[in-house]
Structure 1
Amino acid sequence: MNAIAMAAVQVFALLLGPWSVTFEEETSRLRLENPAENVCVEGTLSFESDGQVWKIVRPRDAVGNRLGLLSPSNDIQGYLTFQQNGERLEMLVSHRTRQFYSGVLKFNGKIKFRDFSFACKTQACTKERVLFLAAGNGNSKRNDTLFAPEEDLAVQFRSASLQLTSESAGEWNVAMAGRIEESAEAVFAFNVEKNYLQRRYIPYYSPIDRKRAPKAPTGWMSWNIYFDTATAEDNLAEARIGKKYLQPFGMEFWHIESWQGNSDKLPVSNFYNLNLEVNERQFPKGMKQLADDIRALGFRPGIWTAPFGTGSDEFYAQHKDWFLHDVNGVPMRTWNGKYTIDPSNDEVIAHLRKIHEIMAKEWGYEYFKIDGMSGAGAGYCAHFFERSEVKAAMKDPNCPDPFERCVRAFREGIGEDRVFNACQGHFTGPEPKYADCGRIGADIVHPNKPVTWHNLLNQAGRTHNQIFAHNIVFYADPDTLMVNEALTLEEARLSTVVVSLPGQMMFSGDKLAELPMERMRLLQQALPPVADIHPVNLYPIFHLLPVWDLKVCRDWASYDVIALFNWEDEEAEVGFDFAEVGLDPDQDCVMYEFWTETYVGKVNGGFSCKIPPHAVRLFAVHRAQEHPQFLSSDRHVTQGAVDVKAMDWTDGKLTAKLELVGGFPTTFRFTVPEGMSMKSVTAGDGVRVETRSEADGRVLAVKLGAETAQTVELSVDFQ
């Protein structure tokens, strides 16, 4: 250990690797600083035993890396030892020999870190039950790390009792505690880890380009309901419905699939994927005209490509040396084509670049879902190009990065201003370096089959497994949100929560004209993805967890949206306790269930309920107040994170700034404490207001509607 103790009056100073440690005895102030990474932790140390405060003092011996615990009898009877291992600094509290007293060491301080950082959880454990998410800097007693995504930099804290809370941009409060008589609690640790995700899971780590893609894309695509039969007019007819019912809620892209020559009949390997030949029967006016027509409806046009191979015999014959062949000269086949490209051939890479440039610059497409990548198996090119027999067949068998060459060419072709969805992109490959989005799992349906419960389980499983990379290196695409009547209403609601509560991409995939309004409403309540939702568990999860907890932090309040899932085929009792979701067990909370529009009331310590099979219950959980308070909004599954902009209670009046969608009313709900009642409600000119009393007078529902999208100022007087 390279340690230097510097004696000074009332000051203890120590250099341990990248850390400087300073302790002022008079004030009990401890300062831990890592100058190289610009991290500073500063606060007050204290120790208490049997109700008596012990003083923490400089050492009285020649051991330079520890402080003393001074008992009330003025004897040093314990130590606080500092030790360093790489970027990790540990602070160990221990007894002096033959001492057996109990006591608690506490550290309460502030952390100065990056302005754009968030609290998260990097210490995984077995039998986890909760998937944590946050919108803004949501506070939780379960967090143990601060993470700066622009630098992939983590500052980890370890102690038996730990709480990280947001103070302001770049500033955090930290409270740590542990018992001296429990060796498992006696160590406080501070660790700065560079390249946290890059070293573990994402070797091509690159933060999302938020200028190009400031939020998770949303849209509609034809494949999962039309498959290979959609025409230009089918797409435009759906877009006209989407313009009326979904565009006002934030839907952005209209995405075209299966447009290539010979693409009107599966499999994909027969499609003409490499020569920009258009299926003239289905798209008689061409792809540029369709892009213009989509844009005229207010959407941004998107297009699907599968460019790792082709089914065109003519194109193959013209460019035979562009394709891979086995030792017998037989063309190598993959999902993308019965003829698969040779990625080591520079002419192939130039062609990939060129065809995507034409689609972007000449045809005018702004969103590209480029398919056939996938980490799923050897039928897809991320795997296929790694196989020894395939590399041996390449023009350059020593090509070090055949798959990356293709992905790079796609980005270079579409340009830096287009949105790139890597399908199925995988975070262990090069896609995060070039793409904005990544399809995280299989198609939500099998070709020409309806959506099933099994498909939803796959979608949920891949979300658990890969959500930790979402809104960090790319936006997670869980495939389309299907809500048609092949699913029960409970199943459709569950899929809505799986897709939208984590802020994932939301593309609809149903025939919109056939949806009952109850199901169209699900799509509306999933739009838009909340831009600041990020994962909190920064590691993959391989089980379907029964509890998801979204911590919402807004200027006007902090609250939780807790989803309780029943993944089983029979009714089940599902619940949570406050401690496991990071809530104060002694704090009263009020709860409201979104789908059944049920007021649970005041809850303390925990909650459970019976949930039907294949269903979810979605609760807004607010710290209980003695006065009327906001409870829920039916605008979005986050129950206020999208549309509530301000909320205040002053002198018997509740005021709020609320965003309304033009032509679609929203209902806001508020608690009404016992002994109080509503006196009057106003919301400005041109706003329709309806009120009703619910839950035996304990809830006030206020329905607001306006013809145009606007922010309204609601005022509710109580008496």
Structure 2
Amino acid sequence: MVIPPLSLLSQEKWPHPFPCRIKDNANKDLFIMTLGNINTPLADGIFDPIKDMVTLNNGEIIKNYYRDVLGIKYYKPIDKTHFPLPPSGWCSWYYYYQEISAEEIMKNAEWLGKNLREYGARYCQIDDGWQGTGHGLGENRDWTTIDKRFSSGMDKLAQFIKAQGLLPGLWLASHGQSNENVVKKWNCFLLKENGKSASSTWEGTYLIDPSNPASHEYLSDLFNTLHNKWGYEYFKIDGQPIVINEFKNKKDFMKTPSDDYETLYRNTLKTIRKTIGNDTYLLGCWGIPLLGTGIMNGSRTGGDIILGWKGFRVSLSATMKYYYLHNIVWYCDPDVMVLRHPLTLNMARAWASLQGLTGQALMASDRLFDLSPERVDIMKRVYPALNIRPFDLFPSKKNKRIWDLKINQSERKYDVLGLFNFDPDKNDIIYVSWKDLGFPEKTKMHIFDFWNEEYLGCWKNGYFAQLSPASCRVLTIMPEKDRPVLVSTNRHITQGWIDLLSFEYNSLKKYYSGKSRIIKNDPYKIRFAYPQKKISYKIKEATAENLPVKIKNYQGWSEIEIISPRTGEVNWKVTFDSTSIYSFPVRKPRGLKIEPIGFTRIKATWNNNYYLYAGYYVYVNNKLSGYTPSNSAIIGGLSLNTENKIEIKTVWYDGKKSTEGTVKFFKIKDLLPEEVYLSDVTPDLATSGWGTTRMNKSIDGYPIKIANKTYKKGIGTHAVSDIIYNLKGEFDIFKAEVGIDANMKGNVKSSVIFQVFGDGKLLWKSPIMKRNDLPVKVSITISGIDKLKLHVADAGDGINYDHANWADVKVIRTKK
């Protein structure tokens, strides 16, 4: 079959109906995206973006789904005519901040053009620092004055960027101004009767009056200079939520006062759009300026990232909350991707995986030429952002750990999984069930580890993945066939979508032939996996026009490597021959131990076999769950108060397993101590109004502290928050100490109310608690309670700085 090149792959016939989910299924850790036309039993129905309508599998119709159900008032399908793909490139802010110069921009642009342009990088965006006469706020919001560090001219800098084969972008807080002379000249800003500013904010000392026709002339003149005269083709307009809020609250200072602040705001965007045209990218920033939908091409969907794992979590939170908007309403931008030290390589790969698997706007923000070769290679494997779309059309209330990108590339139907451990301190084991991903339960799946470049075997039912702290594993899974399958390529994290232009298997003569787009001097690898049989395959011969080809044969899989001195299309052919595989006799494992790690979860460990083995099959209540390569597994979904059975059998690569296994029968409730700290148990649900709920740490990652008291155990969260545990009626007393987190710096105001619910009924409520208040103790009876919910409510003054702690929070059994 022939697959169109990248330029055509991005130009789907949009908008069109596509399958979707509108709610979680039983596995609430699952987050699904799609690339290509996907058909899966996981779909709840079909979404029609033109009609804004979901047709469920049972025939029920949900009209105005985005507008009314999701609250996107100005919903319309994204117009992909001019921007068929999200932007990919570089942004200056998160390395240089305001300490930037034209010389540094040019160095990065030159590097970007030489090293990443052929991988899909297109934009070089200059952020804050090019304008005005000062730093910070104040005089900095003057778009008519150029900073002395850019004395050669912004137009000359744009020309230089274009000469590198890139498109220049520019940041500004477009609705604000700090230059009094500009304000007097245009006479279109919000002023008091005494001539002083009526709106001095982060956006600028002055803010335009959207009701004044002169403000539209001002905006048109400004963007005419930036776009038509200087040559910038990408604009990041910042502070938009501030602008919207000020338009709402400052109508008394308008030339023509109006309560319709939404229309006033949208009209300013329309003026900008008319001036820059439809071929120029307009990005709203920050937060989620939903009033810009239908006009903006994209939007920043979260706050500013910071260097380190906390910065990754900012992008993660934005993705969980707003990914349902991406490539349907606009292109989502979870903020930049940062890969430099002190991030470990595992952290860098996790950040890149977040970007590459979701297809959101992809802007790096390191000093590019300082990155190590290993980190540069990570960048290359996720550029460009592709036409990936959410399958889950709803916001997520938790940070999901199992990401499933379902890809249909003609006859190549496969899933690329991102398995995330968000905890920076602990190892984790994540179980992936093939059934949860929409496959028949007994399906045998080839598994290929993308970042580690190794084949993990072909296994039934599921896989237990071992993860280091703060890491991600990207595993490609593909159903086994009775012949070789092309399981992976190394060009891009999607593993074939942009590089495999055509491919075909000749079953009679046992060869694959195809055409790939290869980038010069970048070793291009194609991987083939074989069926799990005693008689397997190996590569006999491989050719790629006149280029040298390296062949590597392993047990169960093979790889070819092609290096081309030029970028272009290369025809290749791989011929297979039969071979036998080595088989080792498997032996019964021993020493199975069960440790409770929750009310429905356990960790099973057993002795490593002395003799050779490929891994183990894990059986739960007489049913195969899947394969684990190590002598441990975390198993969930168990009964708290009835008997469970775990059995472990040793397995070899050909699927042969030990006749006998090691077995344990147990009830989780019998393994639990009388007192259980809830911070040691994974909740069924944990939501937070800001950040991510943390166990045994504050929301900011510090020790749990209330007033002057520090605790080893506890849950750190932020209003408004819900934390839910299913106790199955097995506990009798709930105890905790609650209060505002004392780790916050500065003179901030916080106020919350703590509440405890049992099976929907309010059991206890704290008084309004403020910063520096002493902890309040709670001890209540919960006998017979199934669902326990810990709620932190806003006390009525907004949720800013509402960092809340449930300290020493535990449940107690008084009777067996």
TM-score (norm. length: structure 2): 0.65
Name the residue aligned to 1:658.
516
Structure 1's 354 and 194: CA in aligned 2 closer, same or farther, altered over 3 A?
Answer: farther
Query: 1:117, CA displacement in angstroms?
Result: 2.1
Query: 1:326, CA displacement in angstroms?
Result: 9.2
Name the residue aligned to 2:279.
417
Query: 1:466, CA displacement in angstroms?
Result: 0.8
- 1:34-433 matched pairs, under 5 angstroms: 116-124=16-24, 128-157=28-57, 189-200=58-69, 201-262=71-132, 265-267=135-137, 269-274=138-143, 276-279=144-147, 281-318=148-185, 322-325=189-192, 331-374=198-241, 380-387=242-249, 390-400=250-260, 401-424=263-286, 426=288, 429-433=290-294
1:528 aligned counterpart, secondary structure:
coil
Report sequence identity in percent.
27
Q: Distance in 1 between matches of 2:484 and 2:133?
A: 59
Contact 1:478 1:505 (8 Å CA) reproduced: yes
Structure 1's 672 and 335: CA in aligned 2 closer, same or farther, altered over 3 A?
Answer: same
Name the residue aligned to 1:616.
472
Q: Distance in 2 between matches of 1:573 and 1:558?
A: 26
Query: 1:290, CA displacement in angstroms?
Result: 1.2
Name the residue aligned to 2:540.
679
Q: Distance in 2 between matches of 1:143 and 1:270?
A: 53
* Unaligned ranges ≥5, structure 1: 1-112, 158-188, 375-379, 446-450
Pairs aligned (count): 556
After superposition, the C-alpha distances for 1:200-224 in whole angstroms (9 at most, x for unaligned) are: 3321112222221111111111111
After superposition, the C-alpha distances for 1:495-543 in whole angstroms (9 at most, x for unaligned) are: 1011121111111111011100100111111111122x11000111121
Structure 1's 347 and 272: CA in aligned 2 closer, same or farther, altered over 3 A?
Answer: same
Q: Distance in 2 between matches of 1:588 and 1:309?
A: 59
Q: Distance in 1 between matches of 2:245 and 2:361?
A: 25
Query: 1:706, CA displacement in angstroms?
Result: 1.1
Contact 1:322 1:347 (8 Å CA) reproduced: no
Q: Distance in 1 between matches of 2:191 and 2:24?
A: 44
Structure 1's 125 and 396: CA in aligned 2 closer, same or farther, altered over 3 A?
Answer: farther
2:536 aligned counterpart, secondary structure:
coil
Query: 1:321, CA displacement in angstroms?
Result: 5.6
Contact 2:297 2:331 (8 Å CA) reproduced: yes
Query: 1:127, CA displacement in angstroms?
Result: 6.6
Q: Distance in 2 between matches of 1:404 and 1:246?
A: 36
Structure 1's 610 and 303: CA in aligned 2 closer, same or farther, altered over 3 A?
Answer: same
- 1:268-667 matched pairs, under 5 angstroms: 269-274=138-143, 276-279=144-147, 281-318=148-185, 322-325=189-192, 331-374=198-241, 380-387=242-249, 390-400=250-260, 401-424=263-286, 426=288, 429-445=290-306, 451-531=307-387, 533-568=388-423, 569-650=425-506, 651=508, 652-667=510-525
Contact 2:94 2:365 (8 Å CA) reproduced: yes
Q: Distance in 2 between matches of 1:580 and 1:679?
A: 38
Contact 2:15 2:77 (8 Å CA) reproduced: no
After superposition, the C-alpha distances for 1:244-289 in whole angstroms (9 at most, x for unaligned) are: 110010111111223544365223x531334x2211x211121111
Contact 1:630 1:670 (8 Å CA) reproduced: yes
1:560 aligned counterpart, secondary structure:
strand
After superposition, the C-alpha distances for 1:313-346 in whole angstroms (9 at most, x for unaligned) are: 4434555662244999554221111222222222
Contact 2:407 2:414 (8 Å CA) reproduced: yes
1:538 aligned counterpart, secondary structure:
coil
Amino acid at match of 1:664: D
Amino acid at match of 2:442: D
Contact 1:216 1:475 (8 Å CA) reproduced: yes
Segment drifting more, 145-154 vs 436-445? 145-154
Q: Distance in 2 between matches of 1:672 and 1:132?
A: 27
Segment drifting more, 664-673 vs 232-241? 664-673
Amino acid at match of 1:229: E
Contact 2:381 2:492 (8 Å CA) reproduced: yes
Amino acid at match of 1:136: G
Q: Distance in 2 between matches of 1:232 and 1:471?
A: 33
Name the residue aligned to 2:741.
none
Amino acid at match of 1:455: G
Query: 1:147, CA displacement in angstroms?
Result: 1.8
Amino acid at match of 2:126: I
After superposition, the C-alpha distances for 1:540-570 in whole angstroms (9 at most, x for unaligned) are: 1121001000000011310000111111131
Contact 2:53 2:61 (8 Å CA) reproduced: yes
After superposition, the C-alpha distances for 1:91-132 in whole angstroms (9 at most, x for unaligned) are: xxxxxxxxxxxxxxxxxxxxxx99922111123468721111
After superposition, the C-alpha distances for 1:165-210 in whole angstroms (9 at most, x for unaligned) are: xxxxxxxxxxxxxxxxxxxxxxxx2023343212233211122222
Name the residue aligned to 1:36.
none
Contact 1:665 1:705 (8 Å CA) reproduced: yes
Contact 1:273 1:305 (8 Å CA) reproduced: no
Structure 1's 350 and 542: CA in aligned 2 closer, same or farther, altered over 3 A?
Answer: farther
Contact 2:48 2:54 (8 Å CA) reproduced: yes
* Unaligned ranges ≥5, structure 2: 1-12, 578-816
2:67 aligned counterpart, secondary structure:
helix
Contact 1:122 1:538 (8 Å CA) reproduced: yes
1:230 aligned counterpart, secondary structure:
coil
Higher relative contact order (CA 8 A, sep 6+): 1
Q: Distance in 2 between matches of 1:263 and 1:209?
A: 38
Q: Distance in 1 between matches of 2:124 and 2:455?
A: 38
Query: 1:660, CA displacement in angstroms?
Result: 0.8
Query: 1:419, CA displacement in angstroms?
Result: 1.2
Query: 1:642, CA displacement in angstroms?
Result: 2.0
CA RMSD of aligned residues (A): 2.2
Query: 1:678, CA displacement in angstroms?
Result: 1.6
Query: 1:656, CA displacement in angstroms?
Result: 2.4
Contact 2:512 2:575 (8 Å CA) reproduced: yes
Segment drifting more, 431-440 vs 634-643? 634-643
Q: Distance in 1 between matches of 2:379 and 2:291?
A: 32
After superposition, the C-alpha distances for 1:458-509 in whole angstroms (9 at most, x for unaligned) are: 1111111111111111111121111111211111111101112111111111
Contact 1:547 1:562 (8 Å CA) reproduced: yes
Structure 1's 328 and 254: CA in aligned 2 closer, same or farther, altered over 3 A?
Answer: closer
Name the residue aligned to 1:712.
570
After superposition, the C-alpha distances for 1:51-106 in whole angstroms (9 at most, x for unaligned) are: xxxxxxxxxxxxxxxxxxxxxxxxxxxxxxxxxxxxxxxxxxxxxxxxxxxxxxxx
Q: Distance in 1 between matches of 2:120 and 2:132?
A: 34
Q: Distance in 2 between matches of 1:123 and 1:708?
A: 47
Structure 1's 261 and 367: CA in aligned 2 closer, same or farther, altered over 3 A?
Answer: closer
Amino acid at match of 2:382: A
After superposition, the C-alpha distances for 1:647-695 in whole angstroms (9 at most, x for unaligned) are: 322121122222211222221211245432221101112x33112234x
TM-score (norm. length: structure 1): 0.74
